[in-house]
Each structure stands twice: as C-alpha cells, then as structure tokens.
A and B are shown apart, each in its own frame.
Chain A
Amino acid sequence: MYAFDFDRPATLDAALAALQDEDAQALGGGQTLIPTLKQRLAQPSKLVSLTAIPELSGVRADDGALTIGAATTHAAVAEQAAGSYPALACLAAQIGDPAVRNRGTIGGSLANNDPSACYPAAALASGATIVTNARQIAADDYFQGMFATALDEGEIITEVRFPLPEKAAYMKFEQPASRFALVGVFVAKYPDGVRVAVTGASEEGVFRWTEAEAALSADFSPEAIAGLSVPSDDMIGDLHGTPDYRAHLVGVMTARAVRDAV
C-alpha cells in the first residue's frame, strides 16, 4: 500500500469535511478497497473511515420501505432484514464469507459498483433510492456501468431505501474462485409490476432485463420466461464462463428466482 493519512470521524459532517482534501477517499468496510490498496491500484492521500459514525448504521422498516444505513454491515442486514425483506437478507447472507460480512457494508458495495457484486442487483430490482448527504438518487439513475455511479466527488451514501415488494428472491450462481456472482438475478414483484436485475453477467455492470419484467408482470411464473433469453453480445467472457454461458445462466437464475420468490 502507498502511505496515506487515516481519519475516523464520529459524525457525518466531520467526514464530509475530511473528504474535501484532494484525493481523499471514503472507506466503508474496506473488503474490496483494502485488497485494491494492497495491489497499489489506488493511491488516496487520505482514507476517511465511515464505520465510527452512528447515524450511518442501522436497519429500519417503515411506510412500506426498508431503510438501511450505508455503514450497516452485510451481517447486520442478513440478521435485521430477515423479517421485513427476506430476499434482501438472504442476498446479504451470501456475500463473501462470514468474516467479510462482518466488515463489508452496503454503502461501500454500492459506491464501488463492482460488476459482480450482489447488492446492485437488489437495489436496481427493488427500485431503491440511494440517499446521499446531498440528494436522493433513483437506482435506475445511479448505476452507470462497471465501477461507475452517479456519485460526485466527496459525496457519501448515507442510506438506501428499499420499497418492500410483494415477493422477491435473489439467485446467485457463484464464480468458483472469487465466489462473487458469475450471474446473480434479483426478481422483485411489486403491485405495479415486476423488476428483474442482473449482476455479474454484463460488461456494462448491473442491468434490468426488461423483456423478462414484461413477461413476469403478466404472469409471475417460471414458465412465463421460458422462451426468453438475453443477447450474449454484451456479456462478460472470461476463464469462468463464455458470454453464451452467462446469457444462458441469466435465464436459468431468473426462472429459479421466480420459483423461489417469497
């Protein structure tokens, strides 16, 4: 790692002030950022840890939505969202491994927007609102391709608001080495329609499979999407799967998510 200053403020205001420094970077749970720093692939002047700010942590359900503080760990979501949004809790319980889940945060995951991360699928399929210190961003506007988001320099996610669906499920097919999603599909059924978001598969990062959404909105059953497929043109091809294989898995995982939706 390159040398950097380290700050661990106790309030959001102090954190925002600390992030004003040139090349300062926010640090969530660090489960992706720290390995990146070890490879010397990033050179922040200062890291501002967000884990000591009480107002950024916690899970609360109200008004048909579940609101999760940005610094809430995956383990906390897995435990505390189980009653109100079981599909989301189930997703959180599949991220990384237990020790990673004890440190990694939802805000960190969404800010990084790894194309194989799980949370972006949940946020996009739920039509979640990404709340920052400055504004509220609809998930449809937030994800802007691999590792790219609508966040501005120095802008911090404070919480994420998930409208509660009637039914939902996340189906993850793991990449055998990293255990990130080779393909992960989150399906959420709302009164006004079904949303399907896919992670791991596309060169463009998380995306909505609108064709499946239309079919499932008309008939929420695995059979409804039987004839559908995503084009493999933009799919990732690597050691672990060809674009064709990933495109195929999108269909399989979507059908399974529909089957298992609760």
Chain B
Amino acid sequence: MPKDHGIGAPSKRREDVRFLTGQGRYTDDINLHGQAHAVFVRSQVAHGRLNGVDTAAAAAMPGVIRVFTGADFEGVGGLPCGWQVTDRHGQPMQEPGHPVLAQGKVRHVGDPIAVVVAETLEQARDAAEAVEVDIEELEPVLDMKAALAEGAPKVHDDLTGNLCYDWGFVEENREAVNAAFQKAAHVTTLELVNQRLVPNAMEPRVAVGDYAPATGDSTLYTTSQNPHVIRLLMGAFVLGIPEHKLRVVAPDVGGGFGSKIFHYAEEAFCTFAAKQLRRPVKWTCTRSESFITDAHGRDHVTKIELALDAEGHFQALRTETYANMGAYLSTFAPSVPTWLHGTLMAGNYKTPLIYVNVKAVFTNTVPVDAYRGAGRPEATFQLERVIDKAAREMGMDPVDIRRKNFITEFPYATPVAVEYDTGDYHATMDKLAEIADLAGFEKRLADSKARGKLRGLGINSYIEACGIAPSHLVGQLGARAGLYESATVRVNATGGLVVMTGSHSHGQGHETSFAQVVADMIGIDENMVEIVHGDTANTPMGMGTYGSRSLAVGGSAMVRATEKIIAKAKKIAAHLMEAAPEDIELKDGAFTVAGTDKSVAWGDVTLAAYVPHNYPLEEIEPGLEETAFYDPNNFTYPAGAYSCEVEVDPDTGKVEICSFAAADDFGNIVNPMIVDGQVHGGLAQGIGQALLEGAAYDEYGQLLSGSYMDYAMPRAGDMPSFTVDHSCQTPCTHNPLGVKGCGEAGAIGSPPAVVNAVVDALQRSGHTNVTHIDMPLTPARVWAAMQG
C-alpha cells in the first residue's frame, strides 16, 4: 500500500495550482515602477578586433536613456570562474578575463558589445540597430584540434595558446594503464563525439535590476537556480557590492537544466545600470538571443579504449578527450570535463586501471558549461558504447559482459578517486529485464521484420555522482566555493512551520516534497509546512539546485534543522509535563512521556515557545527557530539499467523509439510521483540528444542551429511512453534521508541505450560495418551509415 502522506507518498504538488491558473510569478512577469528596458548589441562575427563603438546616433534616438559600452565597465570586475583545474604537470589552468561588455576583442557570435537602455523595449531595439560597431574580423578558431595546432589564431591574445588545461587522471596510473593494454587479450577502440547541446529551458533568461538611492540597496530579480551564488559572485567579484547591500531574487523559474546556474553578463549589467540610472532596468532574452548567450552543454570529442582479457573481464580503460570551453570560462566550466567526468569512468564496473586525459580548449564559440548531467552523460556514453562494441567484437551478449564486470561489494573504491557507498547493479538489471520484457524481444523483432522495419535493442547501465558535494574534497579539487546546503526552520506560535531553504525549485517540486519530509518528521499535516526559497533576503546562504543535490544535501540540512527543532520542543514538552526530556517521544504531532498516558499536542508546545508563561526560561531561550548547514561527506551514487527498442525505416533512416524502460536505484524515495516525472524529463533530454538535438557552427563561427527552425527540440510525437521503476532501493549510507537524487539519471543513462539500439538494428539487418554513428542520429545520418 503506498503511503498517502509524508515521506514516500505521491503527494500532489501544491505549486501546480498557481502554474495551472496563470498565477505563477516568473521574472518576466515582474515590472517595476519607472522601469527602463535594455537591449544588447552583440557581435555578429565569431572573432574580431573591436576598434570602436559609436553610440552617438543611437543615443539621439527617441526614448533612449543611455547607451553603455565596454568603456563604462573599466574598473568593474569581470565575470569570475568558480573552479580552477590543475593540469597534468601541476600547473593551474589558463584563465582568461571575461568582461561584462567586450573590451578590445569579440570572441563569439553573441558576445555583448554595447547596451541600449530606453523607455520602451521597442525603442531600445530600434536604437540598438543604430549603434555603429567597428570590428576588424579575425580568423576564427572553431575546431578543437585545429585550435591546438601550431600557429592557430588565439582566442585570447594574452594566453600562451588555446589550451586551457591538459588534465591527466589519475596521472600516477598512466604507465600502469599503458602496460595493461600491452598484455590485453582484446582491445576495443571507439572514437566518438558527444555533441554540443543548447539547454533550452522554456523560460528564456530575464534580469531586472533595481536600486534604492535612499538606502543604497541593490536588488536583482533573475532567472537563477542559485540566487545566493549569484549574489556572492556578482557582488564580490564583479560589482563590488557587499552582500548586505545586495538582494538577489529568483522567483518562479521556468526550468534551468544547468543553464541558469551561471552568472551572466546581463545580470551584472542590469544591476549596474539600475544604480547608474537610478531606475529599474529590465532585460528579457529572446529565444534567438538565448541560443547565442546561454551556456551550451557537452561538446566533447573522445577516443576511448577498453582492454579486456579473453573472458571479457575489463582490464584497463584509457580515454583521451577534447573538451570545448568556448570563448570564455563560464562559471563552473572547468569542472565539467574533469571532476564531473573523469571520476565516473569506472561506471558500474570493477575495471582496475583507468587513465583519463582531457584537453580543454578555447574556441570562438558560445561558452560551454554544465547541462543536465554535466560530465556524467559524457562519461556514461563513451563507456557504455565501448562496452557494447567490445561485446560485439568478442561475440558476447551485451548484458552478460556487463554482469561479468559489475561491482558487487560495497563500499567500493574506484581507481578514479571516488568511493561508491552502496548499490546493487544486478538488481536493477534484473528489474530492467522484467519491466522491459527483454525475453520477448525476439518476437517483437519478427513483428517488425514482417512490417519491413529494422528493429534493434540497446541496453546499458549507468552510475552517476550526485549530491554535490563534500566541501573539503571539492576544495582540494579546485572549487572556489563550498557545496554545503542550508535550511532555517521557523515554527510559528500556532504550530505551522516555514522552512527557508538555500535550494531552489524550478520545476522539481520542492515546495511539496520538502514539506512532506518535515511534516513526516513531526507527524503533522503537510499543509502546515510552507517552503520558502529563491530570495537571498529571507533564506540562509545556500548553494542552490543542480547536480541532483537538493534533497540529498538541501533536504539533509532541513532534516538537521528539524531535528534541532524537535530536540528543543521536547525540552519544552518535558517542562510542560514535568518529565525528563530524554523520556519524551514525538509521534503523530503529539509529545508523550514514555510509559505514561501524559501527552501534549505539538501546538501546545509551539505556543509555549512564543508565550513562555510556563517555560524553562533559565534553561532555554523562548522561540522555536533553528538553522542547519549540511556538508555531505561523500557524493551519492544513483545507478540503474536502461533499455531502448527502436525501429529503423530502411528507406529513410528514420528512427522510431518503440519502447524505453528505466530501472533506477535512487535509494529512498520521498515522492514517487515527482521521481517518475524527473526520470521522464531526463529521458526526453537524453533521447533528444541521441536522435534530434545538436548545435552546429559553420566555418565562420555562425551558429547554424540558432532557433527552433534548425535546433530540433523533442516534441510529444518524438517520445514514447516510458516504463520506469525505482523499486530497487539501496539507501544512501551517509545522509539522514538515505536519498541519492534523481534529476539527471534519465539524461545520463538514455543516450547510449538509444545509440546501442540503432547500431544493433543495423547490425542485425546486415550492415555489419556500422559500429557507431555520432549523435544526433538523424534520418540523414542513419541513412548515410546504411549506404556504407
């Protein structure tokens, strides 16, 4: 029987009512009195020397208040990078400046050069066209390997070249790995591309800056996944505003998927300009603009090699990856191809020796940073593809070869620096076989064949590291931030609670699931708990929501704060019942004295806390409000097994997903309905990557896929109904809820399943030369592969 409330119940989402009735409050819905509108003038070339900006004509246009250029930002800080990677030789990465508005050079199409602020949006747009920009075009560097060639044009003149870093992991294992390859019975090699993606949260970014001359306080309303991080980065590193004079509000946010983690130039600009102009300044991104300004994702080119013994046991793994940073280092960009990628190369397997080499490269393209999964999809894709290829080469079943190599004993220390606390990979594979009816594949294959379609089956495992992250560890790895999370639990006199969390919900349903946890701990109705997030003015300093960390880290902070509340409430209850605190029990919202029939209700205790007439004032303070900061001591390791069945149209190459099944182990589950939804969404993004999506530049650095006319977003008709299961549960051993995180799993685990399935379909139909097709597997690419 599923629970009907509290932890484990599929509670309906309370946030839905406002979204379903048009009452959500997104940043673009905010219009402040006296607000002016900002429109950015952006580079239309990929690489050029900026010789001058003439704003005179624009400044004279109707409604124009002021035109800003890079000159206005001299003395203002640049956009900071939050992670410093150390290279193979112990040297820090090359870290270029990242001005708010271009200084001296433009480095990608979309690089901001000037901003027109006008009374109306249309006036600002009209005037933006009148800004005259003098750019001397330079040859762009777009291909990563070409960017590293001798004599390649430099994206940043003051750096030694276009190499950001050459990272080796684990460098000490390099020779041992090479030696293992020398004596391997079989080596499988695969070269592949994990293509550049555009995140495309449906809400484009928006920033509204405001300034109060009377107090000197600045406020920024922005589409962010982490308002506190923006406040710290923008205040301390860009604009020089101390936190107590700067408030950042991220109200309802229409999806993020990583792209709204980062601190962007437009946020700093609107905050800066509002202070300069003494009036609110609003910027709303158009979708076309978002394609050339939102940080992109993925963009890895990889060669992976797997060494096996004659029985198919993995002996060693070696990879070489080129990772595109784009023109600048976005906030967390350096961490993605390194610590979020290299540490996952063991996958679910006991490969004893692993060496990962990553060369991060600057190019004249939009900066690349974390996008749903961030590094872990790239790791999973290459690993699960090369295993499939190895199985085929060695004549082994793709499930058998995986099972043969599964890690089965926990905790397990991988050769790539992480320790899996718990898991059961055979169990999720067993569950997958059941829910996907793998035994019935042959019959479905025959049915497809009868209809002239080529059917294929793709299977893979995945593991990811979530619950980011132990601060002491990431500090050693180069993070310039801690990655704890915070919560303040405020109990009101009449018993209701407000939980102020440093996490941020932009679709994840925290307002519902977080309330379930607290209500469950106390034994009260969920509706007595309100979750507040998204405003630095009324939440404790927290690091926000990404990396499937909210429940594992933010939820744990909330549990710790609630435990403090309960401990104090027990003391008050003990006083009221004239008993010892250690004898007090809390159950179903009532305090009892063990072994007696004495009882006081939750509300009696909370009232006593605020009306302390009968209260142990000499022992404890009145009031009932507690804060906790939780810093995890390990990552969490969700894992699972996925399968995909496809049909390929032999005449056109079009791939149809017939079925997709996901068996996940997320540890304990708070709200199974929300977990299902998170998996569905991740699957759609992963299937989208596999079949549809891809950002492409032409030779001049123009983004060819710069709108929904050319960037193929997954539609309802592209997706199957999903079969998902999360009944395999090995609870996380190191956080109080035993939860692991579910937000990215679908996007991590699904691309290899789809590609494995398509390759399988082609192999089964006689196209035995097709061992790999690079994503997206468009009809044109699949058809071309079939032509040989």
Contacts and interface: CB of A to CB of B under 8 A. Distances in A.
A2 interface: yes
A245 B783 contact: yes
Contacts of B784: 242, 245
A240 B783 contact: no
A239 B288 contact: no
B126 A2 contact: yes
Contacts of A252: 651-652
A99 interface: no
Contact of B711 (A173, A177, A242, A248): A177
Contacts of B652: 173, 249, 252
B137 interface: no
Contact of A177 (B651, B709, B779): B709
A177 B778 CA distance: 11
Contact of B705 (A2, A39, A239, A242): A239
Contacts of A240: 710, 778, 780
Candidate in B126, B654, B778 with the most chain A CB atoms within 10 angstroms: B778
Given A40-B129, A241-B780, A252-B651, A176 B692 contact: yes
Nearest to A177: B712
B122 interface: yes
A217 to B, nearest CB: 24
Nearest to A176: B712
Chain A at the B interface: SS class: loop
B122 A3 contact: yes
A177 B705 contact: yes
B708 A239 contact: no
A248 B709 contact: no
Contact of A178 (B708, B778, B779): B708
B713 interface: yes
Contact of A239 (B122, B126, B654, B710): B710
A252 B783 CA distance: 12
B704 interface: yes
B52 to A, nearest CB: 23
A178 B707 CA distance: 9
A241 B125 CA distance: 35
Contacts of A241: 778-780
B696 interface: yes
Contacts of A3: 122, 126
B126 A248 contact: no
A177 B708 contact: yes
B131 to A, nearest CB: 14
Given A2-B126, A176-B692, A242 B710 contact: no
B696 A239 contact: yes
B613 to A, nearest CB: 64
Interface string B754-788: 00000000000000000000000011100110000
Interface string B707-740: 0111111000000000000000000000000000
Contacts of B654: 173
A245 B782 CA distance: 11
B713 to A, nearest CB: 7
Interface string B425-460: 000000000000000000000000000000000000
Contacts of B705: 177, 239
Contact of A248 (B125, B710, B713, B783): B783
B697 to A, nearest CB: 11
Interface string A219-262: 00000000000000000001111100100110010000000000
Interface string A1-12: 111000000000
Contact of B780 (A1, A38, A178, A245): A245
Nearest to A116: B709
Interface string A159-174: 0000000000000010
A146 to B, nearest CB: 16
B704 A239 contact: yes
A173 B654 CA distance: 10
Contacts of A38: 286
A242 B784 CA distance: 9
A242 B652 CA distance: 13
B287 to A, nearest CB: 10
A242 B780 contact: yes
Interface in A1-52: 1-3, 38-40
Contacts of B709: 177-178
A249 B782 CA distance: 13
A101 B694 CA distance: 28
Contact of B778 (A2, A40, A176, A248): A176
A38 B778 CA distance: 29
Contacts of B711: 177
Contacts of A40: 125, 129
B598 to A, nearest CB: 65
A90 B652 CA distance: 21
A1 B123 CA distance: 10
Nearest to B715: A179
A40 B125 CA distance: 10
A4 to B, nearest CB: 12
B781 to A, nearest CB: 9
A44 to B, nearest CB: 15
A104 to B, nearest CB: 15
A200 to B, nearest CB: 13
Contacts of B696: 239
A40 B710 CA distance: 19
Contacts of B692: 176-177
Nearest to B709: A178
B426 to A, nearest CB: 38
Most chain A CB inside 10 Å of its own CB: which residue of B129, B652, B780? B780
Contacts of B778: 176, 240-241
Contacts of A39: 288
B713 A177 contact: yes
A241 B784 CA distance: 10
Contacts of B783: 245, 248
A177 B287 CA distance: 15
Contacts of A249: 652
Contacts of A248: 783
A175 to B, nearest CB: 8
Nearest to B714: A176
A2 B692 CA distance: 34
Nearest to A249: B652
Interface in B110-137: 122, 125-126, 129
Contacts of B126: 2-3
Interface string B120-156: 0010011001000000000000000000000000000
A241 B654 CA distance: 12
Nearest to A256: B651
A24 to B, nearest CB: 20
B169 to A, nearest CB: 34
Contacts of B708: 177-178
A239 B779 CA distance: 11
A40 B44 CA distance: 15
A69 B429 CA distance: 60
A176 B713 CA distance: 8
A118 to B, nearest CB: 16
B692 to A, nearest CB: 6
A242 B709 CA distance: 17
A177 B652 CA distance: 17
Given A1-B122, A176-B779, 8 more contacts: A39-B288, A173-B654, A177-B710, A240-B780, A241-B780, A245-B780, A245-B783, A249-B652
21 contacts: A3-B122, A3-B126, A38-B286, A40-B125, A40-B129, A176-B778, A176-B779, A177-B692, A177-B710, A178-B708, A238-B704, A239-B694, A239-B696, A239-B704, A239-B705, A240-B710, A241-B779, A242-B780, A245-B779, A245-B780, A252-B651
Q: Which 9 A-B pairs have the closest CB atoms?
A: A177-B712, A176-B712, A241-B780, A178-B709, A245-B780, A252-B651, A177-B710, A239-B696, A176-B692
